[in-house]
């Protein structure tokens, strides 16, 4: 593999940050020195890496000239604040916080390999797509030979870990309060998420779209190389701790050949196709796995040009951390 490099992980104590550190070890990523960084409140904790404890240090004083590559897995504000400082120090950057525009930081689907790579010069700056975009784009890119997408509709049923650790704690706390007949208090989300669905993640723009939906549409268009593809996206929060579920409908220019679709999905290494009759679930199948699970492959009930799929994916592991590491593996081969 490539020459070892020095790496920084920002937001190391977040769900995604911890998963990143695990995966850098598990995949034997060529790390020379690993620097774990976080806000000053989280500094002082430590994470295990290759059998030793690495202390998490404060981001503020860190000199990015010491590292060649930084993963940003903290909030969007952190990436925006640090971006110039990181690039000025000659360090390349993979952002997992959807903080940067896709012009500033194009997004990359590692499974497409060199084919899908944008032109980059060092130090480069790329976006790891949002977890739903990763899962959906991987499936649709795989189906490119047999689909002529005219329109795309995605209902993304996102687990509460989309909001990070505080979201996970909120669902657990609300559920326990309800089961114990105690009055419900909402903190991280603005209303009851236990045994309920929330139709909207964050604020909406004047067109009624949540930022996550706009981002998902733009990322899918870029990753699929179809900048004019009409995309309708609904992102909702569901009372699930980990693992996203997507109901995806693609309207194609011709009747769907379900068998050909199944064969392509079966052949792609990053996808686990669940046979007809059975179906994948976020918790039962996808969580903890590197693959994206696909099932319920069928046409529309009365629409032969519509392909419908159910996708389940681990939003923290495959959707964020693994995908970012796979992007890094691809990019250091070509650009570092």
216 in contact with a copy of itself (CB under 8 A): yes
Q: Are 315 and 242 in contact (CB under 8 A)?
A: yes
Query: Which of residues 134 and 171 has its CB atom nearest to a copy of itself in the complex?
Result: 171
| Choices 18-26, 70-78, 214-222, 315-323; region in contact with a copy of itself by CB under 8 A | 214-222
* Of 61, 65, 69, 73, the residue nearest 13 (C-alpha): 73
* 27, 80, 165, 298: residue in contact with a copy of itself (rule CB under 8 A): 298
300 in contact with a copy of itself (CB under 8 A): yes
* Of 164, 158, 172, the residue nearest 235 (C-alpha): 158
39 in contact with a copy of itself (CB under 8 A): no
252 in contact with a copy of itself (CB under 8 A): no
Q: What is the rounded distance in angstroms from the CA atom of residue 165 to the CA atom of residue 241? A: 10
* 120, 146, 258, 336: residue in contact with a copy of itself (rule CB under 8 A): 258
Query: Which of residues 51 and 208 has its CB atom nearest to a copy of itself in the complex?
Result: 208
Q: Residues in contact with a copy of itself, total (CB under 8 A)?
A: 66
| Choices 81-89, 90-98, 119-127, 196-204; region in contact with a copy of itself by CB under 8 A | 196-204
Residue 334 Cβ, how far from a copy of itself at the closest point, in Å?
30
**8-state DSSP, 284:** I
**8-state DSSP, 282:** I
176 in contact with a copy of itself (CB under 8 A): yes
Strand partners, 127: 95, 107
Q: What is the rounded distance in angstroms from the CA atom of residue 156 to the CA atom of residue 246? A: 5
Q: Are 272 and 171 in contact (CB under 8 A)?
A: no
Secondary structure class of 12 (helix, strand, coil): coil
239 in contact with a copy of itself (CB under 8 A): yes
* 175, 177, 290, 336: residue in contact with a copy of itself (rule CB under 8 A): 175
80 in contact with a copy of itself (CB under 8 A): no
Q: What is the rounded distance in angstroms from the CA atom of residue 317 to the CA atom of residue 308? A: 25
- What secondary structure does DSSP assign to 297-331, as a single string? EEEETTEEEEEEEEEEE-TTIIIIIIHHHHHHHHH
Strand partners, 252: 149
Strand partners, 313: 244
231 in contact with a copy of itself (CB under 8 A): yes
Which residues are at the interface with a copy of itself (CB under 8 A)?
A: 151, 153, 155, 157, 171-172, 175-176, 179, 191-192, 195-200, 203-204, 207-209, 213-214, 216-217, 221, 229-234, 236, 238-241, 243, 245, 247, 249, 251, 258, 276-277, 279-284, 295-303, 305-306, 308, 310, 312
């Amino acid at each position: 593999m490539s020459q070892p490099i020095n790496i920084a992980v920002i937001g190391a104590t977040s769900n995604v940050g911890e998963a990143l550190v695990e995966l850098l070890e598990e995949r034997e990523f060529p790390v020379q020195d690993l620097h774990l960084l976080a806000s000053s409140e989280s500094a002082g904790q430590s994470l295990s890496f290759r059998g030793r404890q690495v202390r998490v240090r404060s981001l503020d004083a860190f000199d990015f000239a010491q590292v060649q590559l930084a993963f940003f897995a903290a909030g969007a504000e952190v990436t925006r604040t640090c971006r110039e400082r990181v690039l000025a120090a000659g360090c390349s950057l993979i952002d997992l916080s959807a903080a940067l525009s896709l012009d500033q930081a194009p997004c990359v689907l590692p499974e497409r390999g060199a084919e899908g790579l944008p032109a980059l010069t060092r130090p480069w700056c790329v976006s790891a797509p949002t977890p739903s975009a990763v899962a959906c784009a991987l499936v649709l890119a795989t189906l490119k030979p047999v689909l002529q997408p005219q329109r795309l509709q995605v209902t993304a049923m996102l687990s509460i870990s989309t909001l990070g650790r505080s979201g996970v704690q909120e669902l657990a706390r609300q559920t326990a309060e309800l089961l114990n007949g105690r009055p419900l208090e909402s903190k991280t989300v603005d209303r009851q998420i236990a045994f309920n669905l929330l139709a909207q993640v964050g604020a909406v723009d004047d067109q009624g779209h949540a930022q996550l939906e706009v981002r998902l549409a733009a990322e899918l268009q870029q990753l699929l190389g179809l900048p004019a593809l009409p995309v309708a996206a609904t992102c909702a929060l569901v009372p699930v701790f980990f693992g996203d579920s997507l109901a995806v409908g693609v309207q194609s220019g011709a009747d769907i050949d379900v068998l050909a679709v199944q064969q392509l999905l079966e052949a792609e290494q990053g996808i686990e196709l669940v046979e007809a009759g059975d179906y994948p679930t976020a918790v039962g199948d996808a969580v903890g796995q590197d693959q994206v699970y696909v099932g319920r492959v069928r046409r529309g009930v009365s629409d032969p040009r519509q392909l419908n799929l159910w996708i389940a994916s681990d939003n923290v592991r495959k959707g964020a951390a693994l995908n970012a590491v796979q992007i890094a593996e691809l990019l250091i081969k070509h650009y570092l």
